[in-house]
Structure 1
Amino acid sequence: MVRDHGFHPVRIKRIVQETADTRTYVLDAPFPYRAGQFLTVRACGALRSYSMSSSPDTDRELMTTVKRVPGGLVSNWMHDHLSPGDLIETTSPAGVFCLREGTTPLVALCGGSGVTPILSLVKSALATTERRVRVLAANRDADSVIFGDTLTELAKRHPGRFDIRHHLDDRQGLVTAAEVREFVAGDLGADFYLCGPAPFMALTENTLLGQGVEAGQIVAERFMVPDPAVGEPGVDAEAVPETGGGTVTVVLAGKRRTVDQHPRESLLESARRGGLMPPFSCEMGNCGTCIARLTEGEAKMRVNNALDDDEVTDGWVLTCQGEPVTAHVTVEYES
């Protein structure tokens, strides 16, 4: 089902203090969703995406978990100002960090709050499949472990099917490639789910690939702002056309701007160059905040970890990742 791309008022039913800096918001939101997906919250003039920690297969209520980020605009506002009964604005659920069909084991490696969508996936996998599930969860110390009791209880309820290993940096140092190799040994044919800070993601993904795991076996969830010095992730230089002489037209909040196409420039960058300020968040093709509909021409996305096939067919594009492949392209953002 193609999701509604607008924002909706959602009431907070309860707030659960998971750790000193992490809270779960139980929402009165009748959205259909898949395990592993996220909501985008609009607050403080900004947009942020937060994963669900609940599972549609095991939980009656929808829950999203937010870790306070030092200096973070929205996470700090949510922690400091929101109470049960308050309304927040969110999109309907989105994202493709979801369970794949199959019978192979599911092996997840997560760091810090990256355990949030992993917990959602684990709940659904244990409830709806016979797959064996293993999780390596890395945290700074024992006090920072999110969902520790929940994961322990799941292991007790599913002996022989679910194993959880906790890694604590203050006792063991940072996760190493050797530890990852030891953890995944014997399960190299599994589906691998990765979520965590950028260095953790790079280490685990590179180690898996070095062990012969195919890239198609790895599903990664990343929420970060790209480092301009590193360049755009996932760009195939041979696949990105060197357009010239064309135009990009952007329609946003009743305003219409047309600018010349620049080689290797995303639709979002073109919109900014035209003096518009479209919505965006991660700028890595993961969160879906920057979506708009193509009404003229075609664009190729460098990375797409947020839109499903039906949405792409229907003309939706991640403007942070979309580059024109025709001479004239028009995109329209929802009001």
Structure 2
Amino acid sequence: MASETEVDGFAPLRIARVVRETADAVSLVLDVPEHCARRFRYQAGQFLTLRVTVGGRDLRRCYSMSSAPVEDELRITVKRDPGGVVSNWINDTVVEGDEVHVGPPEGRFVLRGDLSGATEVVAFAGGSGITPIMSLARAAVDDPDRRVRVFYANRSRESVIFARPLDRLVAEHGERVLVHKHFDEDDGVVTPAAIEAFIEPAGDAHYYVCGPGPFMEAVEESLLAAGVKESRLHLERFTVAVPEPNAMDESSVTEDVVIELDRKKVVASYRRGDTLLQTARSAGLRAPASCETGSCGTCMARIVEGSARMLNNDALDDDEVDEGWVLTCQSLPTSRRVRMTYE
């Protein structure tokens, strides 16, 4: 049963502990009350959506869990980002006892069910991309037959998040855990040769990648070139896609959007450059949404007439896209009329 104080699916959670990880990264341990325990069960690698008010603005941001279910704790880690309104606000002002509004765990960057026996988890993290990787590693080592290998790239030693927890994982699990720390200040940016050398001993593994865009692209290209199957390559992107000029031009042909939600049909005039989610909100509809980065799938709807283009999609699989499903928070209409339905 949902808490009476929940609003739009966001529950008020108290911050039980604040942990300063580095000069520009902080972890928040969240106190989940008993009546919310079921809703906040999570898988390693998933994220939470926080809804906060900063400077009078209602903002939503997604942050990956750095804890794992085996730890019986719910913890997120937030790194300061130049120009990042919410991340900087969290690092500068949040203290133990504060309350934040949090959506339930979401995301598909999780351990795959076919991992068993000697199968390895091989992970590549860049900077704050270590957050979900740390969660995955902590969960993976709970299986005594599983090996975990982590390639962690940072600009300098001072920017390493979870330095001690990573060292503890190695100390506690011996040969089952390998952590390689790469520092740009010593060896330059990560090269394909360094990536290939790290994966060479790996056996029948699944590969997980999270970090800055250029880092992720380099790792993805190197893994595919080395013969890693796409089905065993899992990516988690933190960046939000923005409309390209040509995408804006495509959307300019749209005149209206027909939206079917909760047994209501609304015809909304289209404003150039808006996503389908923004169009629904402008029409006064309480359209479902959570992360608004194309990662969770909460806002998905099906296009039954016309067409739309997704700027980012980390939630829907190819079959769902073929059936007409889109993430409305990331979709720009590309036809004169679009009709979509929430089912």
* Higher share of residues assigned helix: 2
Q: Flag structure 1 segments of 5+ consecutive residues without an equivalent.
A: 233-242
Task: Decide whether the 8 Å contact of 2:275 with 2:329 is kept in 1.
Answer: yes
In structure 1, what is the equivalent of residue 49 of structure 2? 40
In structure 2, what is the equivalent of residue 268 of structure 1? 277
Cα deviation code 1:189-222 (max 9, x no counterpart): 4100000000001100011111111111100000
From 223, 231, 238, give the equivalent of 2:238: 223
Q: 1:191 corresponds to which letter in structure 2?
A: H
Q: 2:21 corresponds to which letter in structure 1?
A: E
Q: 2:225 corresponds to which letter in structure 1?
A: G
Q: 2:124 corresponds to which letter in structure 1?
A: L
Question: Matches of 1:55 and 1:223 in 2, distance apart?
Answer: 19
Q: 1:121 corresponds to which letter in structure 2?
A: L
In structure 2, what is the equivalent of residue 18 of structure 1? 21
Task: Decide whether the 8 Å contact of 1:40 with 1:47 is kept in 2.
Answer: yes
Q: 2:132 corresponds to which letter in structure 1?
A: P
Q: Structure 1 residues 201 and 293, CA, compared in 2 at 3 Å: closer, same or farther?
A: closer
In structure 2, what is the equivalent of residue 175 of structure 1? 190
Q: 2:194 corresponds to which letter in structure 1?
A: E
In structure 2, what is the equivalent of residue 54 of structure 1? 67
Question: Matches of 2:255 and 2:93 in 1, distance apart?
Answer: 50
**More deviation in 7-16 or 315-324?**
315-324
From 90, 95, 119, give the equivalent of 2:102: 90
Q: CA deviation at 1:250?
A: 6.8
From 278, 295, 299, give the equivalent of 1:292: 299
Task: Decide whether the 8 Å contact of 2:208 with 2:235 is kept in 1.
Answer: yes
In structure 1, what is the equivalent of residue 3 of structure 2? none
In structure 2, what is the equivalent of residue 238 of structure 1? none
In structure 1, what is the equivalent of residue 11 of structure 2? 8
Cα deviation code 1:10-33 (max 9, x no counterpart): 100010000000000011023101
1:73 aligns with 2:85: yes
Cα deviation code 1:218-268 (max 9, x no counterpart): 000001122544978xxxxxxxxxx9898432769x995524799x99523
TM score, norm. by length of structure 2? 0.77
From 256, 268, 271, give the equivalent of 1:258: 268
Secondary structure of the residue that 1:158 maps to in structure 2? helix
Q: 1:292 corresponds to which letter in structure 2?
A: C
> Could you tell me the percent identity over the aligned residues?
44
Task: Decide whether the 8 Å contact of 1:69 with 1:75 is kept in 2.
Answer: yes
Question: Matches of 1:162 and 1:63 in 2, distance apart?
Answer: 22
Question: Matches of 2:302 and 2:244 in 1, distance apart?
Answer: 33
Question: Matches of 2:246 and 2:239 in 1, distance apart?
Answer: 14
Question: Matches of 1:173 and 1:222 in 2, distance apart?
Answer: 23
Cα deviation code 1:134-185 (max 9, x no counterpart): 0000011111100011011111111111100000111111111110011111
Q: CA deviation at 1:277?
A: 10
In structure 1, what is the equivalent of residue 258 of structure 2? 248
Secondary structure of the residue that 1:160 maps to in structure 2? helix
Task: Decide whether the 8 Å contact of 2:288 with 2:299 is kept in 1.
Answer: no
Question: Matches of 1:245 and 1:23 in 2, distance apart?
Answer: 46
Question: Matches of 1:258 and 1:129 in 2, distance apart?
Answer: 56
Secondary structure of the residue that 1:320 maps to in structure 2? helix
> How large is the Cα RMSD of the aligned pairs?
3.9
Q: Structure 1 residues 328 and 15, CA, compared in 2 at 3 Å: closer, same or farther?
A: same
Q: CA deviation at 1:329?
A: 1.9
In structure 2, what is the equivalent of residue 235 of structure 1? none
Q: Structure 1 residues 33 and 316, CA, compared in 2 at 3 Å: closer, same or farther?
A: farther
Secondary structure of the residue that 2:175 maps to in structure 1? coil
Q: 1:249 corresponds to which letter in structure 2?
A: I
From 108, 124, 131, give the equivalent of 1:109: 124
Question: Matches of 2:302 and 2:332 in 1, distance apart?
Answer: 14
Q: CA deviation at 1:110?
A: 0.5
**More deviation in 315-324 or 101-110?**
315-324
Q: Structure 1 residues 142 and 245, CA, compared in 2 at 3 Å: closer, same or farther?
A: closer
* Count of residue correspondences: 311
Cα deviation code 1:75-105 (max 9, x no counterpart): 1111122110010011011101000022321
Task: Decide whether the 8 Å contact of 2:151 with 2:179 is kept in 1.
Answer: yes
Task: Decide whether the 8 Å contact of 1:47 with 1:280 is kept in 2.
Answer: no
Q: Structure 1 residues 127 and 24, CA, compared in 2 at 3 Å: closer, same or farther?
A: same
Q: Structure 1 residues 327 and 71, CA, compared in 2 at 3 Å: closer, same or farther?
A: closer
